[in-house]
Structure 1
Amino acid sequence: MNVFSNMKSSWNAKISSYQALDSKDKKTFWKETLINNAMYILILVAIIYTQAKNSYFLKPDSIVNIISLSAANIPIACGIAGCIVLTGTDLSAGRVVGLTACISASLLQSVTYATKMFPDLPVMPIWLVILIAIAVGGLVGWVNGFFVAKFSLHPFIVTLATQLIVYGCLLMYIMINGNNGQPLSGLDQSFKDFVTGSHLSVAGVPIPNYVFYAIVVVIFMWFMWNKTTFGKNMFAVGSSPEAANVSGVNVMKTTILVHTLAGCMYGITGFIESARIGSNQAGTGLNYECDAIAACVIGGVSFVGGTGKISGVVMGVFLLRIIFVALQFLSINQNLQYIIKGLIILIACSIDMRKYLVRK
């Protein structure tokens, strides 16, 4: 009851504050509100329009599909969000997902699969493969953070370099043992059941297990961001590295930890994608970072640094996925979808920067 009372009081205070404005200020208020929430308004219009054109859009199976696709992208978005809070980005994220996906697939292929990459290797324990994927992703993240913090290099340059390095490692990895770049498939059934299996259904539509793994990731990242010294230091460094340093925050350590944690999230994404896709190759993970960055910006994680919420990241992932699924329901040309995706990023970043300039 106290929660509802507080919400009511807050709402009444906002109404009173609005009523106290003169006509000119009220017009400015509505103008700023519409501009700042333009992305959400456009998405709402898109949902209504798509449902009107195709009544299957909001059917249970479509909704579960949107939730599942979103869940698969939540870990990478939560990881890259930390880099954006530090006023940076991570262009290597997608390639790390591809590398860890291929590593996971190669270690969890069925022993009876004819073209198994490691024919003498038994199916490894799933928990061990998860740790390997997280370790590989974390290592790349550590390298990113080290070069950004130690040499004051821009994250764009560092992660562009590691993107190429990781992609080269991926290409060499899928060539070893006579695999010659063939897709890594034939995954063990226990692995597929662990990731894409289901123990819960909604309206007869099964919900994949990885949806619940994504929920665990969200809870973990929310705790790290909001309830730990690491999270407070991250926002302090993102707001002002100089001020954070004066306040006793180890800027170098915090920067490295943020990028390392991001890399671990990419590893988890790669592990999930490995089983979700079922056939992993050099192109796995391509441009995943674009979707993650767009989701973060839509969700309110600001490139000016020091601003962002995990709940906003999750909302951004869902909203972006709704748009992409809506485009498919409307039979929009897939090539055109890339243009729309680019426009979304551009508009979201423009709105974000405008908010920052208004605050200044």
Structure 2
Amino acid sequence: MSQSNESIFKKVYTLLLTHSTLVFFIVMLVAAAFLSDRFYTVNNITNVLRQSVPLGIVALGLLFVILTGGIDLSVGSIMALVSVAVALWIPDYGIFGSSLFAIALGAFIGAGAGILIAYFKVAPFVATLAMMTIARGISLIISKGQPVFIDNVAFTDFGTANLLNIPTLFWVLLLILAFALFIYKKTAFGRLVISLGSNEVATQFAGIRVERYKFAVYVISGIACAVAGILATTRTGVGSPVFGIGFELDAIAAVVIGGASLSGGRGTVINTLIGVLILSIISNVMNLMNIPGYHQQVVKGGIIILAVLLESLKNKQQLSR
């Protein structure tokens, strides 16, 4: 291989590696057309967009946690508790009141994890595992282990409505995406969260109260889970105490596939959404191909491994420069 050809190869390799999330997304869009002739139908695309909303909102909240080098295992349980709470509160407080209380509930649980992690130095894995167990237990207690059906047409219609031929829920996701992007790029909070994950000691020596930021990201994650739980409930019309089991794995996978580092300090809002869409497309295509759910878990696990390997290659390339 000539030196010029080798140089071109390295440039192409570097470009593909740098934008691996976007490349993978494009590959999935092309592959979906060959794997199922039903993928590019209007109804199916609408379904993919609608189903991606809860995962997208949770992943965007989780991104800020992961940027600090933390983790949140309680996301699925918070969604379940919120879905049950909303279903129980709607008859008494209406849609707006019950939704407001549910978001406050999500923030409260996130704050509980944040206090343990930021101020009592409990490991994020342990603290959020405890909150996951507590939230799931409370949802089972208040629902008596049974689904709670919602008899409110306005609430359930919102989950199936379209605006300009795009699911209304997806418009909500785009609004939250814009807000997350603003925080990430245009605020001191976003820059300090990234700095905290990159080098916590240096950030602390700079006079930054890192505890406040650690606490805040878990509150953000709790609020995101609450919003996702409410919107997911509008689709089903049922508050379920067993909702969201294993959802934390999908959310973490989406953030990692989007190029975020679990050690903190690296990740972007747009790539996180792309990671969510990649997972949603993969699940949808496998459903169209009638692949059993257990097999789908194996495929998702393989994709997570691939994403981690790509991150490792990126790190090695950056170190070699």
TM-score by length of 2: 0.91
1:196 deviates by 1.4
More helix by share: 2
1:344 deviates by 1.4
Counting only pairs closer than 5 Å after superposition, residues 33-182 of structure 1 correspond to structure 2 as 33=15, 41=23, 44-108=26-90, 122-175=91-144, 181-182=145-146
Q: Show structure 1 runs of 5+ residues with no match.
A: 1-20, 109-121, 176-180
2:256 aligned residue: 297
CA contact (8 A) 2:156 2:236 kept: no
CA contact (8 A) 2:70 2:124 kept: yes
Corresponding letter in the other structure for 1:166: A
Any idea what SS the aligned residue of 1:307 has?
coil
Corresponding letter in the other structure for 1:82: F
Task: Please tell me whether residue 288 in structure 1 is matched to residue 247 in structure 2.
Answer: yes
Hey, what's the Cα distance between the residues in 1 that align with 2:35 and 2:220?
A: 42
1:307 deviates by 1.5
Residues 227/38 of structure 1: CA separation in 2 closer, same or farther (3 Å cut): closer
Corresponding letter in the other structure for 1:233: L
1:90 deviates by 0.8
1:135 deviates by 1.0
CA contact (8 A) 1:299 1:315 kept: yes
CA contact (8 A) 2:21 2:259 kept: no
Hey, what's the Cα distance between the residues in 2 that align with 1:183 and 1:78?
A: 28
CA contact (8 A) 1:304 1:356 kept: no
Any idea what SS the aligned residue of 1:91 has?
coil
Any idea what SS the aligned residue of 1:265 has?
helix
CA contact (8 A) 1:50 1:330 kept: no
Q: After the TM superposition, which of the residue ranges 47-56 and 69-78 deviates more from structure 2?
A: 47-56
Any idea what SS the aligned residue of 2:93 has?
coil
CA contact (8 A) 1:102 1:174 kept: yes
Hey, what's the Cα distance between the residues in 1 that align with 2:216 and 2:28?
A: 39
Matching residue within 233, 236, 240 for 2:192: 233
Corresponding letter in the other structure for 1:292: A
Q: Show structure 2 runs of 5+ residues with no match.
A: none
Hey, what's the Cα distance between the residues in 2 that align with 1:74 and 1:46?
A: 18
2:147 aligned residue: 183
Counting only pairs closer than 5 Å after superposition, residues 316-331 of structure 1 correspond to structure 2 as 316-331=275-290
Any idea what SS the aligned residue of 1:125 has?
helix
1:248 deviates by 2.1
Counting only pairs closer than 5 Å after superposition, residues 232-311 of structure 1 correspond to structure 2 as 232-311=191-270
1:178 aligned residue: none
| Structure with greater contact order relative to length (CA < 8 Å, sep ≥ 6) | 2
1:300 deviates by 1.9
Matching residue within 313, 333, 339 for 2:272: 313
Hey, what's the Cα distance between the residues in 1 that align with 2:272 and 2:31?
A: 25
Hey, what's the Cα distance between the residues in 2 that align with 1:223 and 1:33?
A: 26
1:117 aligned residue: none
Residues 173/248 of structure 1: CA separation in 2 closer, same or farther (3 Å cut): same
Corresponding letter in the other structure for 1:182: Q
After superposition, the C-alpha distances for 1:172-201 in whole angstroms (9 at most, x for unaligned) are: 1212xxxxx2211133112113x3142524
Across the aligned residues of Structure 1 and Structure 2, the Cα RMSD in angstroms comes to: 2.2
1:22 deviates by 4.0
1:327 deviates by 0.9
Any idea what SS the aligned residue of 1:153 has?
coil
Any idea what SS the aligned residue of 1:305 has?
coil
TM-score by length of 1: 0.82
Hey, what's the Cα distance between the residues in 1 that align with 2:95 and 2:242?
A: 24
Determine what percentage of the aligned residue pairs are the same residue.
Answer: 27
Residues 211/27 of structure 1: CA separation in 2 closer, same or farther (3 Å cut): closer
1:227 deviates by 1.7
After superposition, the C-alpha distances for 1:26-55 in whole angstroms (9 at most, x for unaligned) are: 444444555566665555444434323432
Residues 248/275 of structure 1: CA separation in 2 closer, same or farther (3 Å cut): same
